[in-house]
Each structure stands twice: as structure tokens, then as C-alpha cells.
Structure 1
Amino acid sequence: MFKYVELCVELRRGRFAKDGLIQYRIICQQVNVSSLEEVIKQFMQLSTEKAEQAASCCSSQAQALEEALDVDDLEADKRPEDLMLGFVSGEKGKDRSDRELVTPWFKFLWETYRTVLEVLRNNSKLEALYAMTAYRAFQFCKQYKRTAEFRRLCEIIRNHLANLNKYKDQRDRPDLSEPESLQLYLDTRFEQLKIATELELWQEAFRSVEDIHGLMSMVKKTPKPSLMVVYYAKLSEIFWISSSHLYHAYAWLKLFNLQKSFNKNLSQKDLQLIASSVILAALSVAPYDQRRGASYLELEIEKERNLRMAKLIGFNLDPKFEGGEVLSRASLLSELVAKGVLSCAAQEVKDLFKLLEHDFLPLDLALKVQPLLTKISKVGGKLSSASSVPEVQLSQFVPALEKLATLRLLQQVSQVYQTMKIECLSAVIPFYNFAAVEKISADALKHNFVAMKVDHMKGVVLFGNLERIEESNRLENQKKTEEAEKKRLADVLEQKKIQERRLEKEQELQEKPPQDARRKDKTITEEEVMELAQRLVEERVLHEREQQCKIELSQQQHEGDLKEKNRLSRMLDYKMIFQGRVESHRQAEFDRRRVEQEQQISRMIRARKQERAALRKKIFFLRSEEERQRKLIEEEEAERCKKEEAERKAKLDEIAEKQRQRDREVEEKDLLAKAAQLEGSTDGAAAPAAAPQSSGKYVPRFRKSLLQKLVITGVAGMVVVVIAHRSSRVIGGVVVMTEGLPTELLAENPLGPHLGTYPNVDHLELWLFCLKDHAFAPPMKKTEFL
């Protein structure tokens, strides 16, 4: 296997090496894991040496290596335009050869790390080697500034952990509940977090923090305090880069509590520096709520973000309440004072805190804050070896503190003055020019922190409540409208009086008698002329007033139409914005309901699958129970049959015993008869020996007939040995001395009664021995009877 991986490295065949290692892992997984470990170490060592040799062959080390590795992605193939550009450019042959030599070997080294991680993933017996490979891959990305490969490496490790949680029944799966496995996984993630911050990949660093938090939440265990210090240090750095000053301050507070509680060797100087960092980080938070004026959707997004950040920092918030109600600048400052963090800070920091949060100095605030900020900017440096935080620089908080001092000054000035010249305001704020101050004040005005207005034409700044200014403008417009209405009503009243006076005069002329009119004809004519002239003048004046009123009304109506048009145009923009928000909200609601419907369908499918599985188990159980009952019934039936058979055999034995008794009685009668016949017929013969008593066992007639046919020929002084066999096993035997018996013995021989004691025999063996000089001679004859 060593030769195989060596050939793969020489030929740069990463795919073949991966296939070979996978097959070798299958072989060695349960037998010899150390062999696989040695092969993988040799594979990585050879790849690293080849890459280092290729890098050392460059003419000028640093510059050539940087140019050779000047590719965005090691896994990407060469584009046609890159090849054409290489040919037409004025690149020297040596530089081109260096690039063609170095880049492929570094690509192969990166492929080696990926292959090894893929082979070793989620294996409990090789998790230490997996962690070591990940560490070497991180160092490779750090040394050669490979950001794209680092992102891909983080994604690979993240997918491996996701698959570990997904396939929990996998063979040789690592158990994260064990301290050794959990420590290896946490060390890998913390190393990933460190490299991400060093490469300034803040998005990947934040994902690494989420991976660490997810791993801690998964196993329900808190890592060692030294690792948690690194966690909060990197988290505070990420929050500072993302301008999340509130979360940055809370991360510093957690870091301070860890150092004070668990680091017993922490010096007083380091503690004071960390406490000062906590206070300055809290002061750097904007003093106003930036969510004011936000839409409902933005508030919901901010609420989810607060909950997510609070979980990362280590605060448990109730989702029913707003996250800002707990994580806020006011609550943070009160907590710092209550826990004694302010008392541990430096004296300059305490003075600055008192000036910015408690003192009221409308004109001298910025002038007193500036020297303190100058002193604070010079404080910082590396901490002692006892601290897990490598370095603290207070100068990073100075820009945020200058902005806070400017906002406090504007707030205090607005409470004292109503109008101030721009030159005077610029003189009391030494941090910025007036353009920067105006930009800061616009942001504060947007969030309703100060009420001010800049009048560049007059060169002044107006302070006051904007609502009061709007109310005064509204009252002034209302007053103008009322005056115009009064003027119009006066003109209408005067015109009405003129018409009434004319009607009265006409009535008077009609009531006068005609003779008076004839008598005073000349006088009436002159009065009428004067009256007509005066009427013409009044009518002309009235006409001019009517025209003027019409003109004013037309102007007012035109101005009202313009205002309405502007209002409607603004409303159209708001309408479009509101319509977009409504559409987005409806789309989000539609997506949410669709997701809920899909989840409900999936839940129903899972429930039905579970029901079917339960039904199958129930059917299997019923069938098993039926089979068991059937077997029990069969066993009972067999037991009953066995008992009946035993009873039947007992009855048969009883019948056989009765039969034997009857046969025994018959035999005794026969023997008595034969004995009587022998006594009467034989003279001087020795009386036959009495037949031995039977053992009482039943002997079948066919067996008894065999014994009766037994004939033994021999001489006197012979020993007869009879051996009975049944199923190839000796079950008994009989030894009888002839002692001068006649040569031939028929049924009266003494062997018959003895052999009857062994019923149901397969065959009999008869051995005849001759007794000479009180010793047995070899057998003379052997006879078998079936």
C-alpha cells in the first residue's frame, strides 16, 4: 500500500489514491486500523514534500511563489483567455515554468487533504487523525492565503458534522457524548475560527461561531473556560467589524466574567485593562434606539436577529418579548455598575464614564473629553501569558467615543439654547468639522434623539422640539386662512348693505305721489342724476372688489390644488412602498402557509407510515401468538397421547402378568407330571434338580420354544456360559456347571429357567469351557441363537 500511494503521488493521480484508500479502509476497518493510519500519514507526507520541493525550485522564493499561487481557486481549470494571455504577455520562460511546476503540486496537495478528510469522515477509530488532517489543511490555507479553499474546507467539515447527526445508525459512528471525541471536534472548530479571523473572512468566522454554538447545544455541555475565552474574544472581534456595538459590549462582558472567575493567575494590570475595554465598549453603543421609525417587517427581522445573537452570546431570551428590552445600552451600563466592573477600570475610563453619562456641561463637555480620549488612545498592548486574550488596544474605541461626546453635547445644548451660530457650535466640538457634525445630527434627528434645524442662509442652528415647530407653522397657516375668510365675509356684508339701501330708495320713490313729482320735477331730476352717478361708482367699486375676491379665491384654490397634488404625489410614493410591503408580507405569508402545509403533509405521511408499521407489528404479534397457542395445543395433545399410551401399556402389562401366571401354573403342572413319569420309569438315576423358581417375568412362547430346542453336547465338568444381547448391547448372562450331566440335555436342562429371565433379546451366545486343574481352558465351542 505504501508503494501504491507513492506511485499515486508521483503520477499526481488523486482519484486513484482516493479509490485505493477507500478500499483499504474497508479491509482494515475491523482488523488493523493502525495500518490505514500509517498509510494515510505517508500519503500526506509525500504530497507535502512534493509541494515543498516544487516551491523551493522557484528562482526567487517569496515573489515567485506568490505569483505561482496567484489563482483564485485551485480546483478551477485554466480558462482559454488565461492561456492566450500567458502566450501574448511578456512573461519570462523561467517564471512560466515555475508557475507550471508549482501550481499543479499545490493543487494535488489540496486534493490530498480533501481525499483524506473524505476517507476519515465520521469514523470513531480515526477521529484523532481526522482532526490532525483538518488542522494541517487550515495551516495550509493560512500559510498561502487560500481564502476560497478555506471556505470550501469549512463547508466540507460542516457537512461531515451534519451527516453525523443525520445518519445516527451508521457503523463506527463517533459518539459526541464522550469527552475525547467532543474535545477533538471543538478544537477543530476553534482552530477554524482562529484561521478565519486571521484571514479576515468575517462571514466564515461568524459561521464558525454558529458551528461551535450548535455543537455545544447538541451535546448539552460547556467547553473548558480557556476555549470559551477564545470563543468570546473572536466573537467580540466579529461584532466590532460588523458594527454591532451592543453585542460587542456584551461579548466583552462575558469575556471579563470568564477571566475574573476562572483565571486565577490574571494580574491586576490585565484585569484593569479588560475592565476598561468592557466600559469603553458599552459607551461605544449608540445612545438612541435605531429601530425607531422602522417597518413591521424590519422589526421582525431585528427581533429574530436579537434572539440569534443573544443565543450566541449566552443569554436566554423569551421570544414573546422584544430582545431589545433585555439587550440594551441602559441595562448593560446598569449591570456594569452593579457588578463592579466600573470599579476595576482605569481612572481615565471612570472619569470619561462620569462625563458622558452623568455630568451636564453644554459648552465644555467636548473640551474635557478630548484629553481623556488622548490618554486612553495610548493605553493597550499585549497581555501577560496568564491571560488567554492576546492583545487589547483601547484606541479602537476612540472614534465611537468622539461620536458619543458629540451627540451628548448636541443633546445638552438643545436643552439650554434655542438658537446658536454655526461658528460657535463648531468651536465647542473639536473632533469634527461642521459637515460631519451635521451628518451625525441628521442621524440622531432621524431616531428622535435631538431636535434641531440648520439654517445655512442665516448661519444658525435652531434647537427645539420639532413637533412644536410644526404646530406653530400650522397655527400660522390657520391664522392666515381665518383672516382671508373674514375679509371675504366683510366684502359680502358690504355688498349686501348696498343692495338693501338701493331697494329702500326704490321703495321710497314708488310711495311718493305724482303731483309732488310734477311740482318738483327739476329738483328730482338732479337728485336722480347724482344718485345714478353715485350708483355707477358704487357698482364699479363693487365689481372691482368682486373681481379681486375671485382672483384671491382662485389663487388660494390654486395653492390648495398644488399642495394637494404634492401630498398625493408623496402619498403615491408611500402607496407604492406600502403596496410593496403588503405584497412582500402576503408573499411571505403565502410561503409560510405553503411550508406549513408541506410540513403538515409530511407529518401526515409519517403518521400513516407509523400507523402501517404499528399495524404490521400488531399482525406479526397476533400471528406469533396464534403460532404459540397452536404449539401449546399440539404439545398438550402429544402429552395426552403419551399418557394414553402409558395407560394402554400398563393395561397390556397387567394382562401379560395374568397370562404369565396362568402359563406358570400350567408349567408347574407339566413339571409335576414329568417328574412323576421319570420317578416311575428310571431306576437308580439321580433325581433331577428342582427347577429354579422363575423370576416372574413373562417369556413369549416363540422365545420359550427356542430355549426348549437348545441342545448342548459336551462332557462332564464343563462350564456353560450364556450371554444375552439386545440392540448390540450385553444385557446379562448365565454360568452353569454340568457336573456329570448326561451328554445330551433336552428341555430339562437347567439353562432354560435362567434364560427366561431375559426377555426380548436379539441373540444368545453360548461358550463352552473345560475346567482342567482348576483353570479354564480355551473355549471349545461357541454357538449363537437368534
Structure 2
Amino acid sequence: MSTFVKPENALKRAEELINVGQKQDALQALHDLITSKRSRAWQKTLERIMFKYIELCVDMRRGRFAKDGLIQYRIVCQQVNVTSLEEVIKHFMHLSTEKAEQARAQAQALEEALDVDDLEADKRPEDLMLSYVGGEKGKDRSDRELVTPWFKFLWETYRTVLEILRNNSKLEALYAMTAHRAFQFCKQYKRTTEFRRLCEIIRNHLANLNKYRDQRDRPDLSAPESLQLYLDTRVEQLKIATELELWQEAFRSVEDIYGLMCMVKKTPKASVMVVYYAKLTEIFWISNSHMYHAYAWLKLFNLQKSFNKNLSQKDLQMIASSVVLAALSVSLYERSSRASHLELENEKERNLRMADLIGFNVDLKVENREMLSRSSLLSELVAKGVLNCATQEVKDLYHLLEHDFFPLELAIKVQPLLTKISKLGGKLASASSLPEVQLSQYVPALEKIASLRVLQQVSRVYQTMKIEGLAQLIPFFNFLVVEKVIVEAVKHKFLALKIDHAKGVVQFGDQGLESDVLRDHLATLAENLKKARDMIYPPRKKGSKLGEILPSLAETVDREHKRLLARKSIIEKRKEEHERQLLEMEHEEESRRLKLQKGTEEAEQKRLASEFEQRRNQRILKEIEERELQEAQALLQEAVKGKRRGKKPILEGEKVTKQTVMELARSEQLRERQEMEKKLQKLAKTMDYLERAKREESAPLIEAAFQHRLVEERQRHEHDQQQEVEISRQRHDGDLKEKNRLARMADNKRIFQERALLSRQAEYDRIRAQREEQIRQELQARRQEREIMRKRKFFLIEEQKRREREAREAEARRIAEEERRKKEDAERKAKLDEIAEKQRQRERELEEKARLQKEALLGRAAEPPRPYEPPVGAHPVEPLGAAAAAAPTPGKYVPRFRRGAAESAAPPPEQPDRWGRQDDRPPQGGGDRWRSSGDSRGSSFGGSSRSSWPSSRIPPRR
């Protein structure tokens, strides 16, 4: 469609194309008309064109075309007629919703029509084949064919409208209405995936709104109306998220609301905050964050008490009871006792974030830090009077769990109170914005808290208790659940106990090395011993002042002496430190001076280098200017040669540069291009008129050909329809004949079926009997195998015991043999020592005898010598003087070489050994019998004699 066609004619042409069934051509024509450059001049007619265009897009489910048209229409109406854009968008959403509802109603009506008893009577053969092959029901197929495309188009419609209105300050209400309708669509049809995408889309719109704040038509969030619209949208998002049970998306919605409040820095209305905290209670309860749940309930209580003037006393009591029970349900111990430093930092940041979301101001200073905790929450409930507003059962439960001490009766007193509390609750009449209060949801957590209190109080009284007695004290759970509670509490160091299933007892108290009992046991023992000593030996009473001063005088002098020594050492250290600081200051001053000198030299070098670089750049610039001047003169000469007659390229007196010459050439090229464009525009206008004339001439011919083709196609369609009806009738008659022919075989079929069933039943019974017999044989074989294994194991154990017994006996024999050998060696050594002592005694006697002989000989030598006359026939005898000179004199030092000569000259007389022999060989024969005989052999071979047998020559014992 040409842009020169009038919009009224284009609209009529589109209606004609729709009437003849060419909706695609009509839609394309209207799309080209709306997106044309001259659409802004058609303000009066463009709205009717948009309505027709939107109807075509919805009818044909063309979301992309609708989005392009709406974007173009927004550009046209943004500053002139925003109301028209709003009406078009509302019409677009209304048509999309209506079509989706019609498709859903049509699918439901089709399902109800198909809900009959006889499927073969009402269903067509094609439907039966599709149901058997596809494996899906009629409703699933109808939804896929009818409902799903329209729902997709409706979802695309919502996204398109939100995208168009996201930055329009004049249509904020329409944007909020569209978001609410999209939320209701997700809620009505349980579309969780689309809901997440919708929340992300709205979140991105707000982020872009804050990012690009300099836009002209951007909504102002500081305005109360805009802020309320955005808050209402987020609150509706939070409600739908909780109803769809998308708790993660609900928490993100809470963060969006909090971010919006922080962004505007303005407290919203109380009704919005009531919904905010009410949904927070649900989210925190589902996420098992009982502490945050209790704080949210406390905020909700304060809001209702402050702003709800119609709140009844009964509803206030119910809300207060919920707050107190939520606080009592908080765990008694922290769950991050063994966490790492990173986990503790993350937990700290998480607590701060949750405190901000709940509206609880946390002081970040270390000295007065107040974090979210169970104790601070309970103290705040008591201080603000929340506990006084609760029911009597809740008050009694609070005093039992927090203040009273009944180790054996606590659970018995708590159980009837929990039973009464579980029956309380209901919808609050004077607080319709709050959810239904059900106190029974806190009963399981309170039972666990009561069990922990019982265990804590029992551990303070008892050291050991039977498991049966402890199980009777906690009637809420069986002992397996109680054991899990105990393990969790011990893991987080809330309790210190040990369960001994072998003995059937529970031992309270930590007996490890790191326990409080064993950590200070030495100090405790010292204190107890001191008390005992004071009881046995009481301290003396006060005496005189001198008696009190004298014992401590030495200690005082010693202490003063040590103090003076310490002061002297401190003074010396301070002197050394002062000297060291002076040296460091001198070094620093020297290094600073060197650094300053170096910096001065570097600055001078940089200055010289910069001057050199500046001179070089000036020289290069001068050369460039000269080169450009030469090039400009050359270009000027060329321009003068090619200039037109009567025109000058450059004014007189103007400085000739390359830039001026290039500007001149550029202006000449631009002028020539403009002339060429004018010629092309004129030619295009001529071609447009020619094309228009051709189309006007060919329009009647095309219409005639189209009408002729319609008549031919109608005749062909009627002929094909009659032929199809005739073929269907013939097929139906043939099918009836085939059915009648096969009906005679029904009895034969039944007989064959019964025979097949009987044969298969018999086969099944036979196989089953075989299987049972096989299983029985396998069981018998396994039983025999187990018996054999048991006997083999018994014999192996007996054999092992026998080997161990023999090993122990052999070890005992070996030890006895070693002891016997040690005893024999000791006796033998003692005997040898005795023999050696006797040998030394005999040698001393011989030495004494020799000394006496020498003294006698010396006495004879004093007499006058007489010539010696040997007897006749005797051998010549050596003179006694030579032997006496060679022998050493007793008591006089003799050199070693003379001692050796004397000893070699006068060998000791040979003495018989212990066996009465003159040589040093052991007796022959006997062998082992001699070695084992020991000292008895020595006594038989002459026990009174002195043997010269050395101890090193005695053969060793085996």
C-alpha cells in the first residue's frame, strides 16, 4: 500500500479484504499504514484504524504485529492524545481476555459433550484413533488445540502492554491495572512459571527506571500517587506468591517492597505494612525461621494496637497469644556453634538483613550491640506488656518454660496447656487484613522446647537416670524422637549427657578433658584441701602488730628489691630504645636527603628531556605546515584550472591553506549530490504516478478474474463434497456387512478363549509348583550349607584355641629354661670366682715363701764365703749370686725390661691344673656330659688342688 493512499480508503480496503477472507493482506496493509512516516498527520482517523488493526491481530493471534503497531501509536499519541492510547490498550486486553475465556468455555463444553457412557456411539473413528495412538485424553487434546494458543497469546498481550507502558508517567494507573490482571491470570490458572517471569519483568522495569532518571516522561516515585501504585503492585505480587506457595518469589517480593521503601525514604500506609508483616510471618514460618517469625508477629501486634481503632479485646488477646507462642517456639540454642569464620560473617550479614526487613533497628557498635535473639525478644515482650494481653494458658506456659523448675513434673504440667492452646484460633473479625490465626501450629515446636527444658532441668539434679524413667518424663514423643532431640542439643553444646544403651542409663554431665568439671579440677582440689587443712589446723588468732609485721617484712624487702631491679632494667631498655630511635631518625634523614637529591636530579633530567621533545615537536609541526602549504598551493592551482566561469573558489585576500581548499572541494561535491538527489526525487515521483495509473487500470481486471475464480472454486468444492459423501456411504455399507459376517464367529471366539485360559492356568500352576519346589530345595541346601559353615567355624575356633594354648605352654617352657640356664650360669660364675680367689691366695703364699727364701739366702751371704766343692760326679751348678742379681728385690722399683728378663730367667714352677695334669688341655672324652656336669666334675678331679686353668679357656655353655 502506497503512503499516498488516504487513510479512509485504506480502512475501507482492509474491510473489503476481511470480508472476502484475506485477513493476512488486510493486516499487512494496516501495519504498513500505521508504521508509515505520515501517520502522525492522521490523528482523527488513526484511532479507528488502530481498533480495526488490534481486532485483526487478536483474531489472527499476531502478537508481534500488535506490539509494533502499539509502539508506533504510542509515539504518535505520547504528547498529544494519551487517552486514545489508553483506550486502544484496554480494548486490546479486553479482546485477548475474551478470546481466551471463549476458548476455555469451548474446551469445557467439548469435554462435557464427550462425557457419555457409550464412547463408540458418540465418538468419531478419527477421535478414537487419535486417543489410542496419542495416549492422551480428550480434555488434554482440546486444551492443547484450543485453550493453550489463546492463553499464550493472552500472556504475550500482558507482556507487550507492560513493555509499552513501563516508562510512561501519564499511564501509571493502566500499568498497575495490567500488572494486577496479569497476577490474577497467573493465580487463576496456576501459572507458576509465568508468575516468576512477570515478577522479574516488573523488577527489571523498576531497575531501569532508577538507572535512567533523566528521561522526559519517567514516572516520579517521590510523588505519593506513584509510590502508592507501585507499592500496591508489589503487595499484590506478594499476595499471589504466597497463595501459589512460591515462597522464594514471595521473599524476593518482600525485598522489592523494602527496596522501594528505602528508595523513597517514606513510610507507607499502615494497611500496606500490615499485609507486609502478615506475609512475612507466613514466609518465615515456612522457612523454619522461628525467630524472625516471632519478630514479624511482634511488629504486626504493634501495628494493630496502634492503628486499628476497631480492634476488639478478643482479637488483641489472640494476636498477643500468637506473638508469645511464636517467641517460645524459638530454639533454645544457636545452630552455628561450630561454624567457620566465613559462615559466621554470612550469618551476621543475614541477621542484619533480616532485621532491616522486619524493621528492627540493630545497633552496629560493638560495646552495645543488640542482635536478634530469643532472650531479648522475650524480655521485650514482657517490657512492652504483650504477655499481659495473652490468654491465661499462654501465660502459664510461659512461666513453666522460662521461670519454674519442675524437673519431674514439667512435661505433665505443660501437656494439658498445649491441648487447650491447640483448640484456640480462628479468623479475626476486627482485623480482616490478617490471616487466620491457628495456635495449633506452634504445638510441635513447643513440645520440643518443653522436652529440652525437661532434659536441662534433669541434668542439673541427676547424674545418672534410667532410659525408661527419662522416657516417662517426656510423654510427647517416643524415645527415638527424644534421642534425636538429645543428639541435636548435644551437637550444639546445649546439653552434656551420654546415653549408654548397654547399661540402659543416661549419664548427665560432660566427662571429657575439655569439660567444665575437669578443666578446673586441680584448682577445686586445692581449695578443698585448704579448707580441710583449716578445719584440722585452724589458723592462729590475731597477735601483736609486731608479730603480724615481721613475717611479711622479708617479703616486702624482697619485693622492693625486685621492683628496683625491674625499674633499672626498664630504664636501660628505654635508653637503648632512645638510642635506637635516634639512629633510625638519622638513617631516615639520610635516606630522605638522598631521595630528595635523586628526585631533583630526575626532575632536571625530565625538564631537559621535555625541552628537547618540545623543540623536536615544534620542528615537526613547522615541517608539516610547510608541506600542507605546498599541497594547498597545488590544490589551488587545480581548482583554478577546473573552476566555473564567473565563480572564484577562494576570496581575495584569504589565506590559502589545505583546510580551506578541502572545504571548497567538499562544498562542491555536496552541491552536485543535492542536484542529483533532486533529479532522483523527480524521477521517483514520475514513477509513482505511472505505477498508480497502472494499478488503477488493472484493478477492474483483477476483480473480474477474482470473481471468476470464486465461481469455479465453489463449483469444484460442491462436486468434491458430493463425491466424498457418496464414498463415505459406500464405506459405511461395506463396514455393516463385514460386522454382520463376523458376528457369527462370536461363540467360537468365546470357546477358544476359555480353552486358552484353562491351558494357561494349568501351565501357570505347573510352573508355580516347580518354582516352589526349587525354592524349597534351595532353602534346604542353604540351611545345610549354613550348618556346615557353623561346624567348620567351630572346629577352626577350637583349633585356634589349641594352637594358642600350645604356644603359651611352649613360651612357659622357654621362660623356665632360660631361668634355669641363668641360675646355672650364676652358680658356675660364683664357683669360678672362688677358684680364682684360691689361686690368687696360693700365688701370694708362694711369693711370701720365695721372699723368705731370698732373705735367708741374703743372710747367708753376709758370712765369709767358702769355696764350693761340688760332689764327685755332680753337675756344675750356677752361682747363686747371679740368680739373686737377676731376681728383683721386693719393695724396689724394677724397670720393665729387667722384670721381663727376671721372669724369663726364673719361670714360675708348674702347678697341676684342676684335673691333676701339667698341661692346659681339657680332659679328653666326656663331651657334653662334662659341660653339663658343672662343678661336680671339678670336685671329683681334685677339688682341694689349685688349678691354673684361665677362665677365658673354659668352653662356653650351649
Tell me which interval the TM-score lies in, with the shorter structure as reference length.
Answer: 0.5 to 0.7
1:233: which partner in 2? 278
Q: CA deviation at 1:398?
A: 0.5
2:469 corresponds to which residue? Answer: 424
Mapped to 2, the partners of 1:163 and 1:508 lie a distance apart of 115
Of 86, 93, 97, the residue aligned with 1:48 is 97
Report 1:633-782 matches (<5 A).
none
**Aligned: 1:512 with 2:557:** no
Task: Work out the CA distance in 2 between the residues paired with 1:252 and 1:92.
Answer: 48
Post-superposition shift, 1:436?
A: 0.6
Partner of 1:11: 60
Q: Secondary structure of 1:448's partner? A: coil
Q: Aligned ranges for residues 21-32 of structure 1 at < 5 Å?
A: 21-32=70-81
Q: Does 1:255 align with 2:304?
A: no
SS at the partner of 2:465? strand
TM-score normalised by the chain length of structure 2: 0.48
Higher strand share: 1
Confirm or deny: 8 A CA contact 2:393 2:420 kept in the other structure.
yes
Deviation, 1:468, is 5.6
Contact 1:287 1:329 in 2 (8 A): yes
- Residue 340 of structure 2 corresponds to residue 295 of structure 1: yes
Which structure 2 segments of 5+ residues have no match? 1-49, 115-128, 521-818, 844-911, 917-933, 940-958
CA 1:264–1:465 in 2, change beyond 3 Å: closer, same or farther?
same
SS at match of 2:512: helix
Aligned to 2:377: 332
What are the equivalent positions in structure 2 for 1:319-718 lying under 5 Å apart? Answer: 321=366, 325-467=370-512, 509-513=835-839, 525=935
Residues 188 and 506 from structure 1, CA distance in 2 versus in 1: closer, same or farther, beyond 3 angstroms?
farther
In the alignment, the residues of structure 1 paired with residue 187 and residue 342 of structure 2 have an alpha-carbon distance, to the nearest angstrom, of 40
Q: Give the C-alpha shift of residue 91 in structure 1.
A: 3.5
Tell me how far 1:243 sits from its aligned partner: 0.6
Contact 2:237–2:253 (CA under 8 A) maintained in structure 1: yes
- CA apart distance, 1:51: 0.7
Distance of 1:204 and 1:150 partners within structure 2: 9
Contact kept in structure 1, 2:312 and 2:430, CA below 8 Å: no
Between stretches 223-232 and 54-63, larger displacement belongs to 54-63
1:115 equivalenced with 2:441 (yes/no)? no
Structure 1 position 36 matched with structure 2 position 85: yes
**Aligned equivalents of 2:498, 2:148: Cα separation in 1:** 62
Does the 8 A contact of 1:58 with 1:64 survive in 2? no
Whether the 8 Å CA contact 1:317–1:323 is kept in 2: the answer is no
Q: How far apart are the structure 2 equivalents of 1:375 and 1:395?
A: 9
AA in 1 matched with 2:838: K
> Residues 110, 281 of structure 1: CA spacing in aligned structure 2 closer, same or farther, 3 A cutoff?
same
- Structure 1's 421 and 20: CA in aligned 2 closer, same or farther, altered over 3 A? same
Q: Which residue among 125, 137, 151 is the counterpart of 1:106? A: 151
Offset of 1:95 from its aligned partner?
Answer: 5.3
SS at match of 2:172: helix
Residue deviations 1:277-329 (CA, integer Å, cap 9, x gap): 11111111110121111111211221111111111111233556599951111
- Secondary structure of the 1:8 match is helix
User: Which residues in structure 2 correspond to 1:117-196 (within 5 Å)?
Assistant: 117-196=162-241
1:437-467 per-position Cα deviation (integer Å, ceiling 9, x unaligned): 1111000000111111111122221111243
Equivalent position of 1:97 in the other structure:
142
What CA RMSD, in Å, does the superposition of the two structures yield over aligned residues?
3.4
Summarize the Cα distance change of 1:519–1:407 in structure 2 as closer, same or farther, 3 Å threshold: same
- Output the amino acid matched with 2:304: Q
CA distance in 2: counterparts of 1:189 and 1:229, whole angstroms: 14
Deviations 1:207-226 (A, max 9, x none): 00000000000000010111
For residue 956 of structure 2, what is the aligned residue in structure 1? none
CA change 1:419–1:178 in 2 (3 A) is same
* Paired AA for residue 201 in structure 1: L
Contact kept, 8 Å, 2:103 with 2:150, in 1: the verdict is yes
* CA displacement, residues 176-205 of structure 1 (integer Å, 9 cap, x when unaligned): 000000000000000000000000000000
* AA in 2 matched with 1:18: K
Tell me the matched-pair count: 492
Letter in 1 for 2:836: Q
Residue from 232, 242, 250 that aligns with 1:197: 242
Pairing partner for 1:224 from 242, 266, 269: 269
* Rounded Cα–Cα distance in structure 2 between residues aligned with 1:46 and 1:91: 31
Corresponding residue for 1:277?
322
Alignment partner of 1:512: what SS? helix
Q: CA distance change for structure 1 residues 112 and 384 in 2, over 3 Å: closer, same or farther?
A: same
TM-score, structure 1 as length reference: 0.58
Letter in 2 for 1:210: E
Q: Give the letter aligned to residue 394 of structure 1.
A: L
Contact preservation (8 Å) 2:176, 2:230: yes
Identity, % of aligned pairs? 76
Q: Which SS does the other structure have where 1:467 is aligned?
A: coil
Q: Return the offset for 1:472.
A: 10
The separation in 2 between residues aligned to 1:157 and 1:378, in whole angstroms, is 42
CA distance in 2, matches of 1:197, 1:509: 111
The residue type paired with residue 510 of structure 1 is: A
**What's the secondary structure of 1:260's corresponding residue?**
helix
CA displacement 1:5-57 (0-9 Å, x = unmatched): 11111111111111111110110000010010011111111111111111111
* Greater Cα offset, 370-379 or 89-98: 89-98
Note if contact 2:500-2:506 (Cα within 8 Å) is conserved in structure 1.
Answer: yes
User: Which secondary structure does the structure 1 equivalent of 2:295 belong to?
Assistant: helix
**In structure 2, distance between residues paired with 1:240 and 1:149:** 26
Deviations 1:419-449 (A, max 9, x none): 2111111111111111111111000000111
**Would the alpha carbon gap of residues 300 and 474 (structure 1) be closer, same or farther in structure 2, given more than 3 Å must change?**
closer
Structure 2 partner of 1:58: 107
The change in CA–CA distance for 1:519 and 1:132 in structure 2 (over 3 A counts) is closer
- Equivalent residue letter for 1:34: T
| Contact 1:307–1:319 (Cα < 8 Å) also in 2 | no
Are the counterparts in 1 of residues 510 and 517 from structure 2 also a CA contact under 8 Å?
Answer: no
The amino acid of 1:467's aligned partner reads G
Greater RCO structure (CA 8 Å; 6+ sep)? 1
Residue range with higher mean Cα deviation, 294-303 or 445-454:
294-303
| 1:467–1:128 CA distance, 2 compared to 1 (3 A) | same
Maintained 8 Å contact 2:320/2:389:
yes
Deviation per residue, 1:705-759 (Å, 9 max, x gap) = xxxxxxxxxxxxxxxxxxxxxxxxxxxxxxxxxxxxxxxxxxxxxxxxxxxxxxx
Which residue does the alignment assign to 1:766? none
Change (3 A) 1:507 1:460: same
Deviations 1:611-634 (A, max 9, x none): xxxxxxxxxxxxxxxxxxxxxxxx
Question: For residues 251 and 501 of structure 1, what CA distance do their matches in structure 2 show?
Answer: 96
User: After the TM superposition, which of the residue ranges 233-242 and 511-520 deviates more from structure 2?
Assistant: 511-520
Decide whether the 8 Å contact of 2:513 with 2:519 is kept in 1. no
Q: Secondary structure at the match of 2:107?
A: coil
Compute the displacement of 1:392 (Å): 0.7
| 8 Å CA contact 1:382, 1:391 repeated in 2 | yes
Higher helix share: 2
Map of 2:600 onto structure 1: none
Distance 1:11 1:385, change over 3 A: farther
